[in-house]
Amino acid sequence: MLINLLMAISIANAQDFKQIQTGQPAPFDGTLLRPEAMAVIITKNEAEVEMCKADAEHAQTEQKINCDLDKKKLQYDLELYTKTNELLMSEKEKELQKAYDLLKKQSVNHTPLWIGIGFTAGLATSIGSIYLYNQTKD
């Protein structure tokens, strides 16, 4: 189509023409065109130029619409992924807190209990030793 357009432009812009009457010899080698044919060529040329402009505008508009659509889709996806990520992080924090609380409940500090048991065992051993000593002394 571009080649046709260029050829039509070159024909329409040709400077080598001369009005001749029927039966007169042509003053140059080439193609002779009637004024109606020149008008058709010029009109077709102008129509093709306008069609090219319209096609370019249509393609540009279509590309802009697709770009805007892609941009909106990407923004929506970003918002969706951000919200999903925030919800997941919140749930993970809750799970970690539950696990920490459960672990905290399970690992009770038994040190005072063992100190008490040791003191009681030591006291019982001392009293038992004193009792046995007094029993063997008599």
Tens digit of pLDDT at every position of the chain (138 positions): 545 544 555 554 554 556 777 777 766 666 777 778 778 888 888 889 999 999 999 999 999 999 999 999 999 999 999 999 999 999 999 999 999 888 877 767 778 889 999 999 999 999 999 988 888 876
Query: How far are the Cα atoms of 35, 44, 58, 138 from residue 64, in angstroms, in the given order?
Result: 43, 30, 10, 114
Question: What global pTM score does this model have?
Answer: 0.42
Whole-Å CA distances, 5 to 10, 51, 119: 9, 11, 110
Q: Which two tokens stand for residue 130?
A: 């004193």
